[in-house]
């Protein structure tokens, strides 16, 4: 047993690190550190820098312009990105719809959509959830009825992350109501500019409209926007989901945040002449998070080792989702602890790009509560942590 | 032994409930928060008329009696509906400090105005770097003849932007964390050299950052004797801590209630999510947390009213704040989780309750602070 990288892998690690040091724009790094959201343009710009380097699509095969990296290389890349705070590619195009296109799309569809995803010319969003279909996704009702060369789509989707930026949406829609619910679902690509689509922003607890409701009223979608076969959408979506759960533990980002916590604690007065880094209760909590992060990292490496000898990602990846998200939430609690009164002001505008007013509170401390509120989403989306525990109970423990 | 409310307490409780039912639904609250002042003057006048503003004050001060249990009963109802009116800032905290520290004349001048609703106050004590230690005060007060010159910055001043008078804690002598040497001055908020940055906190309550630059105040505006204000400050903050804890108990009660109701109506997989045992146990735990939180707040309130030593009283307040802090985290987080995505939205009241209790956890010292204070007393 060993967890060492090979000489080539170590060389690769240095290459990635140097590239990120030089090419991840310093101003973005400052914003990320201060808890300020990067704008759409900035995210796209960063994505295009990666594209020029040939590293835009770490999870794609070479034939489509991807890196063709091994599982370990992908891990190294994700780690270095997380450590420096560089945003991951927006996942909806690159990690969600692209693998489905590659596996089940027609050649025409691949040529039409993949290059623009690779170059970040087109922004995608995910249209799965509906108001009455969350955890029970297969109960979704948005309907698509065939009419000549088109489908007519009616219904509504919700919680669409960054739908306001999106050019295209990939949807699960109901094409057959007469069969078992999983068997009447199709996978469809829809241009957001199509008449009949309206968007309603949903403001979350941190004051930011990160998600949207999307309404479809007699929306006509060309039949050749259907992926694969009609009524096979659920199968396609599920294949995607198991692949999506690798690299979800957030260990690199966690390490970066832990380092930030330690730095911040060392700069935060305890009120009695010392710093919070000397406060026994806080120190203990920091240590616990640190230890958990290490246990999580080695769990991820074990999963990775299995992947690199060709095993498919199994339900064990649910562990990474549960622990990774709950640990991230715990770190938010520590940031709130440290910030004390400084995170009470609710001035969300000051973390939006281009804010011109007078900021309240010292720097990133002021963002701690907003992040704490917002990151409650981590245990809700991507298959809630209850659903993940159900998966472990059933698929791993055989209950 | 009897833990039931007295007739008077019951009347107080019902009177708040009636007010909330008639005039404080969630949308009204939103409008109040969005208004210029961030609270409703009309409500404030009504609070005065109903006698609520007298509840925190002793009979000697012309108040209702100053019982902590009465106060807790009331605050719990306030918390259920997340009232944003500056009751704690003006009546409990500032009023409490004046009652403890003010001279007879100062009390006679200010307390009636508080109780009749015509005066807004704020207590400016915390500073960047002081964290939750009340004795850690760097703002300086230098006496020159019969005026005092104040210099320094105050943070997290509840009601700071609406107060006509700021009670500013400043140091006349001693080092930054000495318990001696701290005085409280009544500073007209419109004085030259006072700058106020106003904003709403995550719980919707107005707060401010205040800077004092060569602010000159008559020495007569000092509450009580020079350098002797820490104890009064401490007592005022302890009472405010109890009040905010009781408020949080009410808010948690609402969180529990709304979560249980939601779980009965939200259907997934063809059944109400409340039928999943995984969620039932978590709601049972939320219920347990709410009960323990209420018990310890009642304990602290009773001790404040009883014949215990000052040390015992202070210790029980820290015990309460520490325990409700743990309850807050659990009840708040679970309420959001069990609601799923809808719990994350600005539109639903559950998220606002979560934000309110989160602010309560920090206010007047967070869980770790009060746990360590309890251990050290
Ligand atoms: C910020 C955010 C961004 C999102 N982005 C997107 C997006 O871009 N695209 C998209 O399609 N969706 C998105 N989602 C939706 C997300 O996937 C759903 O919120 C999630 O599937 C949960 O569904 P729900 O919110 O309807 O909760 P519900 O399914 O109603 O669940 C409520 C509670 O019941 C629990 N529960 C449900 N079933 C069971 C069970 N069988 N056993 C035990 N407990 C159970 C849940 O775990 C949860 O705690 C996003 C959500 C959020 C909050
Ligand atoms: C030291 C000791 C002293 C005792 N003294 C007495 C005594 O004086 N008189 C007496 O009559 N009995 C006594 N008992 C027995 C005790 O009441 C039983 O052990 C208890 O009722 C559990 O039954 P069981 O051991 O058969 O476990 P089971 O009922 O088989 O339960 C096994 C596990 O499943 C869980 N479980 C069961 N049903 C559910 C459900 N519906 N939902 C979720 N979880 C569930 C249980 O909580 C437990 O964790 C004693 C037991 C012990 C260990």
Query: How much of chain B, in percent, has pLDDT values that exceed 90?
Result: 98
Instruction: Return residues 278-337 of A near B (CB < 8 Å).
Output: 279-282, 329, 333, 336-337
**Domain final position from B94, B120, B146:** B120
Q: CA A204, CA A213: separation in Å to the nearest integer?
A: 12
Length of chain B in terms of residues written: 377
Q: Domain A124-231 classified CATH 2.40.110.10? A: yes
The vertex-A89 CA angle with A83 and A91, nearest 5°, equals: 120
The CA-atom distances, in angstroms, between B359 and each of B16, B248, B325, B366 are 22, 9, 10, 9
Residues B151 and B259 in one domain: no
Beta-carbon contacts of B113 under 8 Å, excluding residues fewer than 6 positions away, are B119
- pLDDT of the residue at A242: 64
Atom of ligand 1 nearest to the CA of B273: 34
Sole residue written with tokens 């609601």:
B339
Is residue B265, in this structure, part of any structural domain at all?
yes
HEC string of chain B equals: CCCCCCHHHHHHHHHHHHHHHHHCCHHHHHHHHHCCCCCCHHHHHHHHHCCHHHCCCCHHHCCCCCCHHHHHHHHHHHHHHCCCCCHHHHHHHHHHHHHHHCCHHHHHHHHHHHHCCCCCEEEECCCCCCCCCCCCCCCEEEEECCEEEEEEEEEEEECCCCCCEEEEEEECCCCCCCCCCEEEEEEECCCCCEEEEEEEECCCCEEEEEEEEEEEEEHHHEECCCCECHHHHHHHHHHHHHHHHHHHHHHHHHHHHHHHHHHHHCEECCEEHHHCHHHHHHHHHHHHHHHHHHHHHHHHHHHHHCCCCHHHHHHHHHHHHHHHHHHHHHHHHHHHHHHHHHHHECCCHHHHHHHHHHHHHHCCCCHHHHHHHHHHC
Q: What is the 3-state secondary structure (H, E, C) of chain A?
A: CCCCCCHHHHHHHHHHHHHHHHHCCHHHHHHHHCCCCCCHHHHHHHHHHHHHHCCCCCCCCHHHCCCCCCHHHHHHHHHHHHHHCCCCCCHHHHHHHHHHHHHHCCHHHHHHHHHHHHCCCCCEEEECCECCECCCHHHCCCEEEEECCEEEEEEEEEEEECHHHCCEEEEEEECCCCCCHHHHEEEEEEECCCCCEEEEEECECCCCCCEEEEEEEEEEEEHHHECCCCCCHHHHHHHHHHHHCCCCCCHHHHHHHHHHHHHHHHHCECCCCCEHHHCHHHHHHHHHHHHHHHHHHHHHHHHHHHHHCCCCCCCCHHHHHHHHHHHHHHHHHHHHHHHHHHHCECCHHHHCCCCCCCCCCCHHHHHHHHHHHHHHHHHCCCCCHHHHHHHHHHHHCCC
CATH number at residue B100: 1.10.540.10
Distance A393 CA to ligand 2 centre (A): 22
Whether residue B217 is found in the same domain as residue B258: no
My answer on whether B204 and B319 are in the same domain is no
Closest CB from A203, A372, A379 relative to B337: A379
Are the beta carbons of B133 and A279 separated by less than 8 Å?
no
Partner-chain contact A346 B202, CB within 8 Å = yes
Contacts of B273-278 with CB under 8 Å at 24 or more apart are B273/B338, B276/A386, B278/A386, B278/A389, B278/A390
Same domain? B130 vs B91: no
Residues B240 and B317 in one domain: yes
In a domain, B220, yes or no: yes
CA atoms within a 13 Å half-sphere pointing along the CA-CB vector of A190? 35
Please name the residues between 94 and 153 in chain A that touch chain B, using a CB distance below 8 Å: 129, 132-136, 139
Q: Which of A90, A97, A135 to mutate to test the pocket of ligand 1 (most atoms within 8 A of CB)?
A: A135
Query: Which pLDDT score is estimated for A315?
Result: 75
Rg of chain A in Å (alpha carbons): 22
Chain B interface includes A380 (CB < 8 A): yes
| Boundaries of domain holding B345 | 231-376
Residue A70's pLDDT is what?
Answer: 87
> Does B186 reside within a domain?
yes
Q: Rounded mean pLDDT of chain B?
A: 97
Q: Is residue B84 part of a domain?
A: yes
Handedness of CA B332, B337, B339, B342 (dihedral sign): positive
Q: Specify the pLDDT at position A59.
A: 86
**Which residues in chain A are closer than 8 Å to B368, comparing Cβ atoms?**
279, 281-282, 337
- To the nearest whole angstrom, how far is the Cα of A65 from the nearest Cα of chain B? 36
Instruction: Identify whether B202 is part of a domain.
Output: yes
pLDDT tens for B280-311 read 999 999 999 999 999 999 999 999 999 999 99
Q: Report the DSSP beta bridge partners of residue B166.
A: B122, B187
| pLDDT reported for residue A307 | 74
Count of CB contacts below 8 A, A vs B?
135
Q: What number is the average pLDDT over the span B321-345?
A: 98
List per-block mean pLDDT (blocks of 10 residues) for chain A, which spans 399 residues. Answer: 84 97 94 86 96 93 92 90 91 92 96 96 96 97 98 98 97 97 97 98 96 98 97 90 68 93 95 96 97 94 79 79 96 97 92 82 83 97 94 92
Per the CB < 8 Å rule, is A272 touching B359?
Answer: no
Domain membership of residue B2 (yes or no) is: no
- Decide which of 3.40.50.720, 2.60.40.1730, 3.40.50.880, 1.20.140.10 is the CATH code for A245-396: 1.20.140.10
Contacting B residues, span 174-203, partner chain A, CB-CB under 8 Å:
176-177, 197, 199-203
- Looking at residue B173, its pLDDT comes to 97
- Write down which residue in B176, B207, B227 finishes a domain: B227
Per-residue model confidence (pLDDT) at position A243: 61
Q: Do B131 and A270 touch (CB under 8 A)?
A: yes
| Bridge partner list, B312 | none
Tell me where in chain A the CATH 1.20.140.10 domain(s) lie: 245-396
From chain B residues 328-367, the ones with a CB under 8 A of any chain A CB are 329, 333, 336-337, 340-341, 343-347, 351, 354-355, 358-359, 362-363, 366
Cβ–ligand 1 distance for A372 under 6 Å, the answer no
* Pick from A244, A392, A399, A251: nearest CA to A312: A244
Residues B258 and B361 placed together within one structural domain of the fold: yes
Task: Report the distance separating Cα A333 and Cα A323, nearest Å.
Answer: 15
**B42, part of any domain:** yes
The per-residue pLDDT for A361 is 75
The pair of three-digit structure tokens given for residue B190, joined into one six-digit string: 């419109």
- pLDDT given for residue A366 in this prediction: 84
Inter-residue contact B298 to B69 (CB < 8 Å): yes
**Residue B296 maps to which CATH number?**
1.20.140.10
Same domain membership, residue B352 and residue B261: yes
Q: Which residue of A has its CA nearest to B375?
A: A281
Euclidean distance between CA atoms B350 and B179, whole angstroms: 41
- Chain A residues lying within 8 Å of B244, measured CB to CB: none
Tell me phi and psi for residue B171, to 5 degrees: -100, 125
Contact partners, residue B229, CB within 8 Å, separation at least 6: B97, B101, B169, B182, B183, B184, B223
Q: Is A279 in the pocket of ligand 1 (CB under 6 A)?
A: no
The average pLDDT across B84-105 equals 98
pLDDT at B136 over 60: yes
pLDDT value of position B216? 98
* ipTM entry: 0.97
Which residues make beta-bridge pairs with A188?
A171, A226
What does each C-alpha distance from B235 to B61, B134, B310, B313, B314 come to in angstroms? 16, 11, 9, 10, 8
Q: Do A346 and B131 count as a contact with CB atoms less than 8 A apart?
A: no
Cβ–Cβ of A135/B269 closer than 8 Å?
A: yes
Query: How many angstroms separate the CA atoms of B325 and B319, rounded?
Result: 10
Q: Are residues B235 and B219 in the same domain?
A: no
Query: For the residues B193-216, what does the mean pLDDT come to?
Result: 97
Chain length of chain A: 399
Q: Which of residues 224-283 of B touch A (CB under 8 A)?
A: 267-270, 276, 278-279
Domain count, chain B: 3
The pLDDT, as a whole number, for residue A64 is: 95
Of the residues B89, B341, B361, the best mutation for testing chain A's interface (the one with the most A CB atoms within 10 Å of its CB) is B341
Give yes or no: residues B155 and B49 share one domain.
no
Q: State the closest ligand 1 atom to the C-alpha of A157, by its place in the atom list counted from 1.
A: 11
Judged against a pLDDT cut of 90, whether residue B74 lies above it is answered with yes
Judgement on whether residues B106 and B75 belong to the same structural domain of the protein: yes
Decide if B295 is inside a domain.
yes
Same domain, B276 and B158: no
Rounded Cα–Cα distance for residues A386 and A379 (Å): 8
Dist CA A45 CA A60 (whole Å) = 20
| Nearest residue of chain B to residue A212 (CA atoms) | B345
Q: Judge contact between A214 and A169, C-beta under 8 A.
A: yes
Closest approach of A37 to chain B, Cα-based (Å)? 19
**Please, what is the angle between helix A317-339 and helix A251-267, to 10°?**
20
Query: pTM of the prediction?
Result: 0.96
Rg of chain B on CA atoms, in Å = 21
pLDDT, residue A35, reads: 79
- Note whether B126 and B207 are same-domain residues: yes
Chain B residues touching A385 at Cβ < 8 A: 337
């Amino acid at each position: 047993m060993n967890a060492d990288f090979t000489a080539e892998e170590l060389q690769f690690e240095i290459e990635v690190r140097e590239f990120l040091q030089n090419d991840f724009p310093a101003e973005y790094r400052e914003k990320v550190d201060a808890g300020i959201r990067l704008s759409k343009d900035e995210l796209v710009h960063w994505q295009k820098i990666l594209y020029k380097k040939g590293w835009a699509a770490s999870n794609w095969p070479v034939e489509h312009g991807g890196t063709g990296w091994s599982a370990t290389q992908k891990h190294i890349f994700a780690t270095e990105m997380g450590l420096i705070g560089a945003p991951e590619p927006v996942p909806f195009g690159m990690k969600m719809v692209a693998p489905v296109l590659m596996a089940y799309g027609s050649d025409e569809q691949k040529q039409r959509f993949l290059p623009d995803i690779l170059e970040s010319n087109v922004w995608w969003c995910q249209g799965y959830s509906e108001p009455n279909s969350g955890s029970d996704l297969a109960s979704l009702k948005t309907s698509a009825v065939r009419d000549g060369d088109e489908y007519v789509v009616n219904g509504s989707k919700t919680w669409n992350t960054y739908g306001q930026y999106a050019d295209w949406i990939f949807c699960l829609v109901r094409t057959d109501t007469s069969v078992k619910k999983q068997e009447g679902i199709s996978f469809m690509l829809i241009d957001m500019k199509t008449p009949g689509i309206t968007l309603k922003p949903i403001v979350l607890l941190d004051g930011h409209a990160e998600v949207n409701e999307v309404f479809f009223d007699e929306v006509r979608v060309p039949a050749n926007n259907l992926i694969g076969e009609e009524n096979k959408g659920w199968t396609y979506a599920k294949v995607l989901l198991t692949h999506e759960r690798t690299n979800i533990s957030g260990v690199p980002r966690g390490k970066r945040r832990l380092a930030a916590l330690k730095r911040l604690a060392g700069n935060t007065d305890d009120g009695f002449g010392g710093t919070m880094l000397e406060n026994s209760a806080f120190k203990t909590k920091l240590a616990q998070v640190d230890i958990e992060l290490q246990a999580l990292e080695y769990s991820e490496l074990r999963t990775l080792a299995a992947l690199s000898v060709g095993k498919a990602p199994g339900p064990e990846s649910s562990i990474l989702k549960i622990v990774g998200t709950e640990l991230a939430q715990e770190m938010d609690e520590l940031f709130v602890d440290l910030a004390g009164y400084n995170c009470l002001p609710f001035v969300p505008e000051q973390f939006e790009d281009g804010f011109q007013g007078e900021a309240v509170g010292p720097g990133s401390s002021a963002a701690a509560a907003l992040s704490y509120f917002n990151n409650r989403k981590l245990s809700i989306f991507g298959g809630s942590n209850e659903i993940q525990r159900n998966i472990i109970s059933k698929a791993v423990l055989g209950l | 032994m009897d833990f039931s409310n007295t007739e008077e307490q019951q009347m107080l409780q019902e009177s708040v409930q009636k007010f909330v039912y008639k005039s404080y639904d969630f949308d009204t609250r939103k409008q109040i928060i969005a208004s210029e002042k961030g609270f409703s003057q009309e409500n404030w006048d009504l609070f005065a008329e109903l006698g609520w503003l007298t509840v925190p004050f002793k009979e000697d001060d012309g108040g209702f009696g100053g019982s902590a249990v009465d106060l807790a009963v009331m605050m719990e109802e306030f918390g259920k509906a997340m009232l944003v009116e500056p009751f704690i800032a003006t009546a409990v905290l500032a009023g409490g400090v004046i009652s403890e520290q003010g001279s007879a004349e100062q009390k006679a001048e200010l307390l009636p105005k508080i109780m009749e609703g015509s005066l807004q106050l704020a207590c400016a004590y915390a500073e960047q770097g002081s964290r939750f230690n009340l004795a850690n005060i760097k703002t300086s007060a230098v006496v020159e003849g019969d005026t005092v010159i104040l210099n320094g910055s105050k943070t997290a001043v509840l009601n700071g932007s609406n107060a006509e008078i700021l009670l500013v804690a400043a140091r006349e002598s001693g080092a930054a964390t000495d318990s001696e040497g701290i005085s409280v001055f009544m500073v007209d908020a419109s004085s030259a050299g006072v700058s106020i940055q106003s904003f709403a906190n995550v719980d919707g309550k107005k707060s401010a950052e205040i800077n004092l630059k060569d602010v000159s105040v008559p020495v007569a505006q000092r509450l009580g004797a020079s350098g002797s204000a820490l104890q009064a400050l401490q007592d005022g903050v302890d009472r405010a801590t109890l009040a905010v804890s009781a408020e949080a108990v009410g808010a948690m009660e609402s969180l529990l209630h709304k979560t249980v109701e939601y779980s009965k109506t939200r259907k997934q997989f063809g059944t109400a999510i409340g039928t999943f045992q995984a969620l039932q146990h978590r709601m049972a735990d939320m219920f347990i947390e709410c009960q323990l939180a209420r018990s310890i707040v009642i304990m602290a309130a009773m001790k404040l009213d009883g014949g215990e030593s000052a040390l015992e009283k202070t210790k029980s307040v820290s015990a309460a704040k520490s325990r409700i802090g743990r309850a807050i985290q659990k009840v708040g987080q679970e309420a959001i989780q069990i609601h799923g995505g809808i719990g994350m939205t600005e539109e639903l009241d559950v998220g606002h309750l979560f934000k309110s209790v989160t602010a309560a956890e920090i206010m007047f010292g967070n869980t770790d602070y009060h746990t360590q204070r309890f251990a050290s007393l």
